[in-house]
Amino acid sequence: MVNNLMRNKRLLIITIGILSIAAGIGLGRFFMPTVESSNPEISGFYISPALEVENFDLTNQSGQPFTHATLKDRWSLLFFGYTFCPDVCPTTLAQLNQLHNRLASQGVGEDVTVWMISVDPARDTVERLKEYTAFFNPKFGGATGEREEIDKLAKQFGVYYKIHDPEPGADYYLVDHSGAVLVINPDARLQAVLTETSLTHSLVKDFLAIQRRYDG
């Protein structure tokens, strides 16, 4: 009889112990939402808080101003390139087109604009840029302008480019450029930088994660 009571008591203590540990874990999870508060896992960098973009003055594919104001109230995906580029730029545009199609199929394609900024205004007129970007998607835009204004934008994004002299005997020149895609949020602030790995392997997933995190 006494033995039985003792055994029940021990069982009760063990049960209470287990329950309180479980409750502790549950409460801990509830009060410390560590998963939510960390930055989304993307192939690139999520910038928190998002960086302000200083004003710049370029011209878009239709001859209209492309400035800080253009970036407001929508998501913008920017990358720097040139239309003579046979490999990286078409590949990037084709990959951004896949993302755009995916967003359009979910009815949110209008919320995102893709921009190719040409760092090669000597060869790229805005008319040329228009034809080039529209080939990949008629909704894509292009912009270029004075070297000084291009640099203003490139420098604040940490985007590097270098225009080479033609190689001996060549009638063309090449341009080294950063292949990253800059993600500008609807407040016209730099929210993330996506790398080439993201473009090739996880663009849709990464972009949606950035948007989700921004929407809170």
Partner 1 sequence: MSKFGITRRLAWENARSSANDMKPNLLSILRSIQKTFLCGAFPEMNHRLLLLVILSLITANGFAAEFTVGNLTVKNPWSRPTPPVASAGAAYFVLDNSQGQDDRLLSAEADISARVELHTHLMDGDVMMMRKLDTIEVPAEQTIAFEPRGLHIMFIGLEGPLVEGETFPLTLNFEQAGAVTVEVAIGQQPNAK
Compute the least distance from the CB of residue 161 to partner 1, in Å: 8
Compute the least distance from the CB of residue 128 to partner 1, in Å: 5
Please, what sign has the CA dihedral across residues 46, 185, 113, 69? negative
Contact between 85 and partner 1 per CB under 8 A: yes
Contact between 174 and partner 1 per CB under 8 A: yes
Compute the least distance from the CB of residue 176 to partner 1, in Å: 4
Structure tokens, 33: 């939402």
Q: To which residue do tokens 């407001």 refer? A: 72
Please, what sign has the CA dihedral across residues 82, 83, 84, 89? positive
Residues binding partner 1: number (CB under 8 A):
30
Calpha distance 83→102 (Å, rounded): 25
Compute the least distance from the CB of residue 162 to partner 1, in Å: 8
Compute the least distance from the CB of residue 87 to partner 1, in Å: 5
Strand-pairing partners, residue 78, are 115, 182
The piece of 12-20, 64-72, 90-98, 149-157 that touches partner 1 (CB under 8 A) is 90-98
Contact between 86 and partner 1 per CB under 8 A: yes
Calpha distance 143→66 (Å, rounded): 7
114 residue type, one letter: V
Give 55's contacts (C-beta < 8 A, 6+ positions apart): 67, 68
- Alpha-carbon dihedral 116, 139, 146, 172, rounded to 10 degrees: 50
The piece of 9-17, 32-40, 57-65, 89-97 that touches partner 1 (CB under 8 A) is 89-97
Letters for 103-142 (x = contact with partner 1 by CB under 8 A, - = none) are -------------------------x--xx-xxx------
Please, what sign has the CA dihedral across residues 67, 56, 178, 120? positive
Given 99, 103, 119, 180, the residue binding partner 1 (CB under 8 A)? 180
Can you give the binding site for partner 1, defined by CB under 8 A?
83-88, 90-91, 94, 128, 131-132, 134-136, 160-161, 167, 170-172, 174, 176-180, 195-196, 200
